[in-house]
Amino acid sequence: MSRRVAYVNARLLDPASGLDAVGALLVEGGRIADVGPDLFRDGVPEGIERVDCEGACLAPGLVDLRVQLREPGEEHKETIDTASRAAAAGGVTAMACLPNTDPPVDDVAVVEFIARRAREVKLVKVFAYGSVTRGLRGEQLTEIGLLKEAGAVGFTDGLKAVADARVMRRALAYARGLGALIIQHPEEPSLARNGAMNEGELSMRLGLTGIPPAAEAIMLERDMRLVALTGARYHAAHVSTAEGIEVIRAAKQRGLPVTCDTAPHYFALNEQAVDGYRTFAKVSPPLRSEDDRLAVVEAIADGTIDAIASDHAPHDQESKRLPLAQAEPGIVGLETLLPLSLELYHEGRIGILDLLAKLTCRPADLLALPLGRLAKGAAADLVLFDLEKSWQIEVERLRSKSKNTLFDRRHVRGEVVRTIVDGRTVYCREA
Protein backbone atom coordinates (compact mmCIF):
# COMPACT_ATOMS: atom_id res chain seq x y z
CA MET A 1 0.00 0.00 0.00
CA SER A 2 1.08 3.58 -0.63
CA ARG A 3 2.20 5.50 2.44
CA ARG A 4 -0.52 7.81 3.67
CA VAL A 5 0.18 10.96 5.68
CA ALA A 6 -2.40 13.31 7.18
CA TYR A 7 -1.44 16.94 7.82
CA VAL A 8 -3.92 18.19 10.41
CA ASN A 9 -4.53 21.45 12.29
CA ALA A 10 -3.20 23.46 9.35
CA ARG A 11 -4.25 26.80 7.92
CA LEU A 12 -4.84 25.70 4.35
CA LEU A 13 -3.87 28.38 1.83
CA ASP A 14 -4.57 27.67 -1.84
CA PRO A 15 -4.45 30.80 -4.00
CA ALA A 16 -5.71 28.96 -7.09
CA SER A 17 -9.07 28.14 -5.47
CA GLY A 18 -9.20 30.93 -2.88
CA LEU A 19 -9.16 28.44 0.00
CA ASP A 20 -8.15 29.94 3.36
CA ALA A 21 -9.42 27.77 6.18
CA VAL A 22 -8.27 25.61 9.05
CA GLY A 23 -8.36 21.99 8.00
CA ALA A 24 -6.36 18.97 6.92
CA LEU A 25 -4.70 17.44 3.89
CA LEU A 26 -4.12 13.79 3.05
CA VAL A 27 -1.13 12.64 0.98
CA GLU A 28 -1.12 9.23 -0.65
CA GLY A 29 1.26 7.90 -3.28
CA GLY A 30 2.98 11.26 -3.67
CA ARG A 31 -0.27 13.05 -4.49
CA ILE A 32 -2.94 14.97 -2.64
CA ALA A 33 -5.71 12.44 -1.96
CA ASP A 34 -8.01 14.87 -0.16
CA VAL A 35 -7.99 18.35 1.33
CA GLY A 36 -10.46 20.61 3.10
CA PRO A 37 -11.72 22.14 6.33
CA ASP A 38 -13.91 19.12 7.18
CA LEU A 39 -11.31 16.43 6.54
CA PHE A 40 -10.52 14.29 9.63
CA ARG A 41 -12.80 16.38 11.80
CA ASP A 42 -13.59 13.21 13.76
CA GLY A 43 -9.97 12.14 13.96
CA VAL A 44 -7.38 10.43 11.74
CA PRO A 45 -8.15 6.72 11.11
CA GLU A 46 -5.64 4.05 12.06
CA GLY A 47 -2.99 3.26 9.48
CA ILE A 48 -2.47 6.90 8.47
CA GLU A 49 0.59 8.79 9.70
CA ARG A 50 -0.45 11.99 11.47
CA VAL A 51 1.49 15.27 11.29
CA ASP A 52 0.18 18.04 13.55
CA CYS A 53 0.81 21.38 11.83
CA GLU A 54 -0.04 23.26 15.05
CA GLY A 55 -1.82 26.06 13.19
CA ALA A 56 0.98 26.75 10.71
CA CYS A 57 0.17 27.61 7.10
CA LEU A 58 0.11 24.76 4.57
CA ALA A 59 0.37 26.01 0.99
CA PRO A 60 1.52 24.75 -2.40
CA GLY A 61 5.30 24.64 -2.68
CA LEU A 62 6.91 27.70 -4.24
CA VAL A 63 7.65 27.65 -7.97
CA ASP A 64 10.72 29.78 -8.65
CA LEU A 65 10.85 31.19 -12.18
CA ARG A 66 14.47 32.32 -12.20
CA VAL A 67 17.44 30.46 -10.74
CA GLN A 68 21.08 30.18 -11.81
CA LEU A 69 22.37 26.72 -10.93
CA ARG A 70 25.97 27.09 -12.27
CA GLU A 71 26.06 23.37 -13.17
CA PRO A 72 27.51 22.48 -15.61
CA GLY A 73 30.62 24.64 -15.72
CA GLU A 74 30.89 26.64 -12.48
CA GLU A 75 30.30 24.03 -9.80
CA HIS A 76 32.58 25.96 -7.41
CA LYS A 77 29.78 28.55 -7.14
CA GLU A 78 26.74 26.27 -6.96
CA THR A 79 25.59 22.80 -8.00
CA ILE A 80 22.20 21.26 -8.62
CA ASP A 81 22.62 19.49 -5.28
CA THR A 82 23.47 22.59 -3.22
CA ALA A 83 20.86 24.73 -4.97
CA SER A 84 18.25 22.03 -4.37
CA ARG A 85 19.09 21.96 -0.65
CA ALA A 86 18.81 25.74 -0.51
CA ALA A 87 15.50 25.61 -2.39
CA ALA A 88 14.08 22.99 -0.04
CA ALA A 89 15.04 25.10 2.98
CA GLY A 90 13.28 28.06 1.36
CA GLY A 91 10.03 26.21 0.64
CA VAL A 92 10.76 26.09 -3.10
CA THR A 93 9.61 22.76 -4.54
CA ALA A 94 10.21 23.56 -8.23
CA MET A 95 12.65 25.88 -9.95
CA ALA A 96 13.48 26.86 -13.53
CA CYS A 97 17.16 27.38 -14.27
CA LEU A 98 18.68 29.88 -16.67
CA PRO A 99 20.70 28.65 -19.67
CA ASN A 100 23.88 30.61 -18.88
CA THR A 101 25.85 27.51 -17.92
CA ASP A 102 29.05 26.24 -19.55
CA PRO A 103 28.17 24.84 -22.02
CA PRO A 104 24.95 26.86 -22.30
CA VAL A 105 21.57 25.19 -22.59
CA ASP A 106 21.39 25.57 -26.35
CA ASP A 107 21.47 21.85 -27.08
CA VAL A 108 19.18 18.93 -26.19
CA ALA A 109 22.07 17.12 -24.47
CA VAL A 110 22.40 19.88 -21.84
CA VAL A 111 18.64 19.85 -21.11
CA GLU A 112 18.85 16.08 -20.61
CA PHE A 113 21.96 16.43 -18.42
CA ILE A 114 20.18 18.85 -16.04
CA ALA A 115 17.11 16.61 -15.88
CA ARG A 116 19.27 13.57 -15.12
CA ARG A 117 21.25 15.35 -12.39
CA ALA A 118 18.02 16.56 -10.77
CA ARG A 119 16.70 12.99 -10.72
CA GLU A 120 19.94 11.82 -9.09
CA VAL A 121 19.78 14.53 -6.42
CA LYS A 122 16.09 13.77 -5.85
CA LEU A 123 15.19 16.79 -3.76
CA VAL A 124 13.18 19.49 -5.56
CA LYS A 125 11.93 19.60 -9.15
CA VAL A 126 14.35 21.25 -11.58
CA PHE A 127 13.34 22.52 -15.02
CA ALA A 128 15.57 24.11 -17.63
CA TYR A 129 15.14 27.07 -19.94
CA GLY A 130 16.62 26.74 -23.39
CA SER A 131 18.58 29.66 -24.79
CA VAL A 132 16.97 31.74 -27.53
CA THR A 133 20.22 31.99 -29.49
CA ARG A 134 23.20 29.69 -29.91
CA GLY A 135 25.92 30.36 -27.39
CA LEU A 136 23.81 33.20 -25.96
CA ARG A 137 25.38 35.38 -28.65
CA GLY A 138 22.15 36.96 -29.88
CA GLU A 139 22.67 35.96 -33.51
CA GLN A 140 21.45 32.51 -34.60
CA LEU A 141 18.32 30.92 -33.16
CA THR A 142 18.52 27.60 -31.36
CA GLU A 143 16.33 24.62 -32.28
CA ILE A 144 13.44 25.86 -30.18
CA GLY A 145 11.14 23.00 -31.18
CA LEU A 146 13.65 20.27 -30.32
CA LEU A 147 14.57 21.92 -27.03
CA LYS A 148 10.92 22.24 -26.06
CA GLU A 149 10.33 18.59 -26.93
CA ALA A 150 13.29 17.67 -24.71
CA GLY A 151 11.70 19.48 -21.76
CA ALA A 152 12.73 23.14 -21.93
CA VAL A 153 9.97 25.16 -20.23
CA GLY A 154 10.78 28.49 -21.87
CA PHE A 155 13.43 30.33 -23.85
CA THR A 156 15.71 33.15 -22.74
CA ASP A 157 19.26 34.36 -23.17
CA GLY A 158 19.48 34.74 -19.39
CA LEU A 159 21.31 37.88 -18.31
CA LYS A 160 21.61 39.06 -21.92
CA ALA A 161 18.87 40.83 -23.80
CA VAL A 162 18.03 39.60 -27.29
CA ALA A 163 19.10 42.92 -28.72
CA ASP A 164 18.68 42.35 -32.46
CA ALA A 165 15.08 43.17 -33.36
CA ARG A 166 15.07 40.83 -36.36
CA VAL A 167 16.32 37.93 -34.24
CA MET A 168 13.72 38.63 -31.57
CA ARG A 169 10.94 38.85 -34.15
CA ARG A 170 11.93 35.47 -35.58
CA ALA A 171 12.16 33.94 -32.10
CA LEU A 172 8.68 35.20 -31.21
CA ALA A 173 7.25 33.94 -34.49
CA TYR A 174 8.72 30.45 -34.01
CA ALA A 175 7.66 30.40 -30.37
CA ARG A 176 4.09 31.26 -31.21
CA GLY A 177 3.82 28.34 -33.61
CA LEU A 178 5.20 26.00 -30.95
CA GLY A 179 3.27 27.41 -28.00
CA ALA A 180 6.56 28.37 -26.34
CA LEU A 181 7.28 31.26 -23.97
CA ILE A 182 10.02 33.82 -24.70
CA ILE A 183 11.56 35.44 -21.61
CA GLN A 184 13.51 38.66 -22.07
CA HIS A 185 16.10 40.40 -19.92
CA PRO A 186 14.67 43.86 -20.66
CA GLU A 187 17.69 46.10 -20.89
CA GLU A 188 18.92 47.99 -23.94
CA PRO A 189 22.56 46.82 -24.08
CA SER A 190 24.20 49.95 -25.47
CA LEU A 191 22.66 52.08 -22.71
CA ALA A 192 23.62 49.54 -20.05
CA ARG A 193 27.19 48.92 -21.27
CA ASN A 194 29.77 49.16 -18.47
CA GLY A 195 27.06 50.21 -16.04
CA ALA A 196 27.63 49.28 -12.41
CA MET A 197 24.48 50.67 -10.75
CA ASN A 198 21.41 52.83 -11.31
CA GLU A 199 22.05 56.13 -13.03
CA GLY A 200 21.34 59.07 -10.77
CA GLU A 201 22.72 61.37 -8.12
CA LEU A 202 24.31 58.51 -6.16
CA SER A 203 26.15 57.06 -9.18
CA MET A 204 27.53 60.53 -9.95
CA ARG A 205 28.71 60.97 -6.37
CA LEU A 206 30.37 57.55 -6.37
CA GLY A 207 31.94 58.18 -9.78
CA LEU A 208 30.38 55.07 -11.31
CA THR A 209 28.82 54.55 -14.72
CA GLY A 210 25.08 54.27 -14.27
CA ILE A 211 22.35 52.39 -16.14
CA PRO A 212 19.38 54.69 -16.80
CA PRO A 213 15.85 53.41 -16.09
CA ALA A 214 15.09 54.21 -19.74
CA ALA A 215 17.25 51.21 -20.74
CA GLU A 216 14.49 48.95 -19.43
CA ALA A 217 11.59 50.90 -20.90
CA ILE A 218 13.18 51.25 -24.36
CA MET A 219 13.71 47.51 -24.72
CA LEU A 220 10.21 46.78 -23.48
CA GLU A 221 8.63 49.31 -25.84
CA ARG A 222 10.41 47.73 -28.80
CA ASP A 223 9.42 44.24 -27.72
CA MET A 224 5.77 45.20 -27.24
CA ARG A 225 5.65 46.14 -30.92
CA LEU A 226 7.15 42.79 -31.85
CA VAL A 227 4.64 40.98 -29.67
CA ALA A 228 1.82 42.87 -31.40
CA LEU A 229 3.35 41.89 -34.75
CA THR A 230 3.68 38.18 -33.94
CA GLY A 231 1.04 37.47 -31.29
CA ALA A 232 3.56 35.41 -29.28
CA ARG A 233 3.65 34.96 -25.52
CA TYR A 234 6.28 37.20 -23.95
CA HIS A 235 7.57 37.45 -20.39
CA ALA A 236 9.72 40.27 -19.02
CA ALA A 237 12.06 39.13 -16.27
CA HIS A 238 12.87 41.07 -13.08
CA VAL A 239 11.26 44.40 -13.96
CA SER A 240 12.73 47.13 -11.78
CA THR A 241 11.53 50.57 -12.91
CA ALA A 242 8.36 52.61 -12.88
CA GLU A 243 8.88 53.38 -16.59
CA GLY A 244 9.15 49.70 -17.50
CA ILE A 245 6.11 48.81 -15.43
CA GLU A 246 4.05 51.44 -17.22
CA VAL A 247 5.00 49.92 -20.59
CA ILE A 248 3.85 46.48 -19.42
CA ARG A 249 0.69 47.85 -17.85
CA ALA A 250 -0.26 49.58 -21.12
CA ALA A 251 0.48 46.41 -23.12
CA LYS A 252 -1.78 44.37 -20.86
CA GLN A 253 -4.55 46.93 -21.24
CA ARG A 254 -4.23 46.48 -25.02
CA GLY A 255 -4.71 42.75 -24.56
CA LEU A 256 -1.20 41.69 -25.57
CA PRO A 257 -0.05 38.27 -24.23
CA VAL A 258 2.55 39.83 -21.93
CA THR A 259 3.55 38.89 -18.38
CA CYS A 260 6.38 39.87 -16.05
CA ASP A 261 8.06 39.11 -12.75
CA THR A 262 10.26 40.86 -10.25
CA ALA A 263 12.60 39.76 -7.45
CA PRO A 264 12.54 40.57 -3.71
CA HIS A 265 15.57 42.88 -3.84
CA TYR A 266 13.67 45.22 -6.16
CA PHE A 267 10.92 45.80 -3.58
CA ALA A 268 12.94 45.27 -0.38
CA LEU A 269 15.88 47.58 -1.24
CA ASN A 270 16.80 50.61 -3.29
CA GLU A 271 20.02 52.01 -4.78
CA GLN A 272 21.16 53.32 -1.41
CA ALA A 273 22.30 49.76 -0.62
CA VAL A 274 25.17 50.34 -3.08
CA ASP A 275 26.52 53.31 -1.10
CA GLY A 276 29.98 52.54 0.19
CA TYR A 277 30.74 50.60 -3.01
CA ARG A 278 29.07 47.45 -1.67
CA THR A 279 29.56 44.81 -4.35
CA PHE A 280 26.96 42.51 -2.80
CA ALA A 281 24.45 45.19 -3.84
CA LYS A 282 25.43 44.90 -7.49
CA VAL A 283 22.65 43.09 -9.33
CA SER A 284 21.34 43.02 -12.90
CA PRO A 285 19.25 45.07 -13.54
CA PRO A 286 20.57 47.37 -10.81
CA LEU A 287 18.77 48.40 -7.64
CA ARG A 288 16.78 51.48 -8.49
CA SER A 289 15.50 54.65 -6.82
CA GLU A 290 13.01 54.68 -3.97
CA ASP A 291 10.30 55.86 -6.37
CA ASP A 292 10.99 52.84 -8.57
CA ARG A 293 10.91 50.53 -5.55
CA LEU A 294 7.51 51.85 -4.56
CA ALA A 295 6.28 51.43 -8.15
CA VAL A 296 7.31 47.76 -8.01
CA VAL A 297 5.39 47.31 -4.76
CA GLU A 298 2.30 48.95 -6.29
CA ALA A 299 2.56 46.79 -9.42
CA ILE A 300 2.71 43.63 -7.33
CA ALA A 301 -0.38 44.72 -5.44
CA ASP A 302 -2.44 45.71 -8.50
CA GLY A 303 -1.52 42.60 -10.50
CA THR A 304 0.63 44.21 -13.17
CA ILE A 305 3.52 42.06 -11.92
CA ASP A 306 2.45 38.44 -12.29
CA ALA A 307 5.11 36.60 -10.30
CA ILE A 308 7.95 36.96 -7.83
CA ALA A 309 11.15 34.97 -8.50
CA SER A 310 14.27 34.66 -6.36
CA ASP A 311 16.67 35.67 -9.18
CA HIS A 312 19.15 33.39 -7.37
CA ALA A 313 22.65 34.24 -8.67
CA PRO A 314 25.37 32.55 -6.61
CA HIS A 315 28.94 33.89 -6.82
CA ASP A 316 32.15 33.04 -5.01
CA GLN A 317 34.16 35.60 -3.07
CA GLU A 318 36.63 36.09 -5.92
CA SER A 319 33.77 37.24 -8.18
CA LYS A 320 32.39 39.73 -5.66
CA ARG A 321 35.37 41.08 -3.74
CA LEU A 322 36.48 43.33 -6.58
CA PRO A 323 36.00 47.01 -7.43
CA LEU A 324 32.28 47.53 -8.01
CA ALA A 325 32.64 48.07 -11.75
CA GLN A 326 34.40 44.69 -12.16
CA ALA A 327 32.35 42.63 -9.69
CA GLU A 328 29.84 40.09 -11.00
CA PRO A 329 26.16 41.04 -10.57
CA GLY A 330 23.73 39.01 -8.51
CA ILE A 331 22.80 37.71 -5.06
CA VAL A 332 21.58 34.38 -3.70
CA GLY A 333 17.84 34.26 -3.07
CA LEU A 334 16.33 30.78 -2.80
CA GLU A 335 16.30 30.72 1.00
CA THR A 336 15.08 34.31 1.41
CA LEU A 337 12.37 34.36 -1.28
CA LEU A 338 9.46 33.54 1.02
CA PRO A 339 10.29 35.67 4.10
CA LEU A 340 11.19 38.74 2.04
CA SER A 341 8.00 38.38 -0.02
CA LEU A 342 5.98 38.02 3.18
CA GLU A 343 7.16 41.51 4.18
CA LEU A 344 4.63 42.82 1.64
CA TYR A 345 1.84 40.97 3.48
CA HIS A 346 2.99 42.03 6.94
CA GLU A 347 3.18 45.64 5.78
CA GLY A 348 -0.44 45.44 4.58
CA ARG A 349 0.46 45.89 0.90
CA ILE A 350 -1.20 42.69 -0.36
CA GLY A 351 -3.39 39.84 0.90
CA ILE A 352 -1.79 36.52 1.74
CA LEU A 353 -3.52 34.57 -1.04
CA ASP A 354 -2.73 37.19 -3.68
CA LEU A 355 0.91 37.15 -2.58
CA LEU A 356 1.17 33.36 -2.57
CA ALA A 357 -0.39 33.22 -6.05
CA LYS A 358 2.67 35.10 -7.36
CA LEU A 359 4.92 32.46 -5.81
CA THR A 360 2.96 29.29 -6.66
CA CYS A 361 0.13 28.88 -9.16
CA ARG A 362 0.89 31.92 -11.29
CA PRO A 363 4.52 31.00 -12.13
CA ALA A 364 3.42 27.37 -12.63
CA ASP A 365 0.79 28.53 -15.14
CA LEU A 366 3.31 30.73 -16.96
CA LEU A 367 5.53 27.70 -17.52
CA ALA A 368 2.58 25.39 -18.25
CA LEU A 369 3.50 23.18 -15.28
CA PRO A 370 0.78 21.22 -13.39
CA LEU A 371 2.00 22.56 -10.04
CA GLY A 372 1.19 25.19 -7.44
CA ARG A 373 -2.20 23.94 -6.19
CA LEU A 374 -3.82 22.25 -3.20
CA ALA A 375 -6.21 20.06 -5.17
CA LYS A 376 -7.20 16.40 -5.20
CA GLY A 377 -4.92 14.50 -7.54
CA ALA A 378 -2.26 17.23 -7.66
CA ALA A 379 1.35 16.50 -6.83
CA ALA A 380 1.96 16.69 -3.08
CA ASP A 381 4.44 19.57 -3.36
CA LEU A 382 3.84 21.56 -0.18
CA VAL A 383 5.36 24.14 2.12
CA LEU A 384 4.44 24.40 5.78
CA PHE A 385 5.42 27.76 7.26
CA ASP A 386 4.91 29.79 10.41
CA LEU A 387 3.50 33.07 9.15
CA GLU A 388 4.31 35.08 12.28
CA LYS A 389 7.65 33.62 13.38
CA SER A 390 10.29 36.34 13.69
CA TRP A 391 13.86 35.41 12.90
CA GLN A 392 17.09 36.81 11.52
CA ILE A 393 18.70 35.86 8.23
CA GLU A 394 22.25 34.65 8.92
CA VAL A 395 24.61 34.17 6.00
CA GLU A 396 26.58 31.40 7.68
CA ARG A 397 23.42 29.26 7.90
CA LEU A 398 22.58 29.48 4.21
CA ARG A 399 22.71 26.12 2.45
CA SER A 400 23.71 27.61 -0.88
CA LYS A 401 27.37 27.04 -1.70
CA SER A 402 27.76 30.79 -2.26
CA LYS A 403 26.99 33.35 0.45
CA ASN A 404 26.56 36.57 -1.54
CA THR A 405 23.45 37.96 0.12
CA LEU A 406 22.50 41.54 0.89
CA PHE A 407 20.16 40.45 3.66
CA ASP A 408 22.55 39.15 6.31
CA ARG A 409 21.22 40.07 9.79
CA ARG A 410 17.92 41.33 8.39
CA HIS A 411 14.96 40.63 10.67
CA VAL A 412 12.03 38.95 8.91
CA ARG A 413 8.71 37.29 9.78
CA GLY A 414 7.63 33.96 8.34
CA GLU A 415 9.73 30.80 8.56
CA VAL A 416 9.59 27.53 6.62
CA VAL A 417 8.84 24.59 8.92
CA ARG A 418 8.71 21.75 6.39
CA THR A 419 9.00 21.27 2.63
CA ILE A 420 7.42 18.28 0.88
CA VAL A 421 8.01 17.15 -2.73
CA ASP A 422 5.84 14.37 -4.16
CA GLY A 423 4.88 13.46 -0.61
CA ARG A 424 8.51 13.21 0.60
CA THR A 425 9.77 15.55 3.29
CA VAL A 426 12.90 17.16 1.80
CA TYR A 427 13.38 19.74 4.56
CA CYS A 428 12.31 19.96 8.18
CA ARG A 429 13.18 22.85 10.48
CA GLU A 430 15.47 22.01 13.36
CA ALA A 431 13.64 21.89 16.66
Give the start-end residues of each E strand in 222-330: 234-236, 258-262, 307-308
Cα separation, 313 vs 283, in Å, equals 9
Cα separation, 418 vs 158, in Å, equals 31
Residue type, 262: T
The strand pairing partners of 97, in sequence order, are: 67, 128
Residue type, 338: L
Residue type, 185: H
**251, exposed or middle or buried, with CB in 10 Å at 0-12, 13-18, 19+?**
buried
Closest residue by Cα to residue 261 from 177, 344, 186: 186
Closest residue by Cα to residue 287 from 204, 157, 195: 195
Compute CA distances 8 → 27, 32, 36, 38, 430, whole Å.
11, 13, 10, 11, 20
Residue type, 136: L
DSSP 183-202: EE----HHHHTT--EESSHH
Q: Given the DSSP bridges, would you call strands 210-211 and 234-236 parallel, antiparallel or unpaired?
A: unpaired
Phi-psi map region of 113: left, alpha, beta (phi>0 left; psi -120 to 50 alpha): alpha
Active-site entry in 292, 311, 365, 381: 311
Known catalytic residue at 311: yes
Scored b (16 or more CB within 10 A) or e, 367-389 reads bebebbbbbeebbbbbbbbbbee
Closest residue by Cα to residue 419 from 333, 334, 346, 309: 334
Cα separation, 176 vs 149, in Å, equals 15
Cα separation, 294 vs 121, in Å, equals 39
Enumerate the active-site residues: 311
